[in-house]
Amino acid sequence: MNIKVIAFDADDTLWVNEPYFRASEEAFCTLLEEYLPRHELERELLKIEIGNLGLYGYGIKGFVLSMIETAMNVTNNMISAKTIGQIIDLGKQMLNQPIELLDGVEDVLHALKGRYRLVVATKGDLLDQERKLRKSNLNNYFHHVEIMSEKDDANYLKLIKHLDIQPSELLMIGNSLKSDVLPVLNVGGFAIHVPYHITWAHEEIEHSIDSGMFKSVESIKDILGFV
């Protein structure tokens, strides 16, 4: 590999994220348990979340709006103002969560800084992602931060052009095969998958990946064996 830039996903690659969504979803289902069983509420919420991605994008704010819409649907618009307030509070609690770095992250960034240009390539709400990066105290490791509305081939190509490199000079590190690996391979870059123990259903893929430009490791510390 002739890598010049290493890009890192943020949520569930650098720091904990998905468990907070799961905890809020659990609390949401408890609030509405008199209307639908938990598994049906979870399925309805996921359907509405995915349907709203084009409107709200990814992140906590869109998640809260989707929870409110789901609550309105399953209660036939009889949801109380008190319950809506409780759902909003769930979102505020998520936004105020401390940043918990994943094991080995800072050691890896310290080992790579100076040898490569390091960037963050993530998606989600701009304000929220900027806040998390600031609270993480990792800013000084990164040459550039790219917050995308969607991680697709076109946006990775824009990032590559902005960084003034060839696709084969980019290595992407992330926990999502759908967002961090497949589109990067599609445009000619390298990718290393660092799985996280919880994955949002929308990020799951059913097929395996067979490519010489792809590796999967157990821990982010393991990437040092390839770069």
Considering the domain architecture, whether residues 45 and 58 belong to the same structural domain is answered as yes
Residue 206 pLDDT grade (very low, low, confident, very high; cuts 50, 70, 90): low
pLDDT score recorded for residue 197: 77
Residues 119 and 171 occupy one common structural domain: yes
CB neighbour burial string for 149-160, b if at least 16 within 10 angstroms, e if fewer: eebeeebbbebb
Q: Are residues 45 and 66 in the same domain?
A: yes
Q: Return phi, psi of residue 102, to 5°.
A: -75, 155
Nearest CA to 122 among 103, 95, 142, 102?
Answer: 142
Boundary residue ending a domain (52, 75, 95): 95
Q: What is the pLDDT of residues 85-105, one digit of tens each?
A: 999 999 999 999 999 999 999
- Note the pLDDT tens digit of each residue in 27-75: 999 999 999 999 999 999 999 999 999 999 899 999 999 999 999 999 9
Both tokens assigned to 209: 């990946």
Q: For position 40, which CATH number holds? A: 1.10.150.240
Residues 172 and 79 in one domain: no
Is the whole-model pTM more than 0.85?
yes
Do 115 and 200 share a domain, yes or no?
yes
Mean pLDDT along residues 72-84: 95
Structural domains counted in the chain: 2
Q: Which domain holds residue 72?
A: 18-95
Residue 13: CB atoms within 10 A of its CB come to 24
Q: What is the pLDDT of residues 123-180, one digit of tens each?
A: 988 899 999 999 999 999 999 999 998 999 999 999 999 999 999 999 999 999 999 9
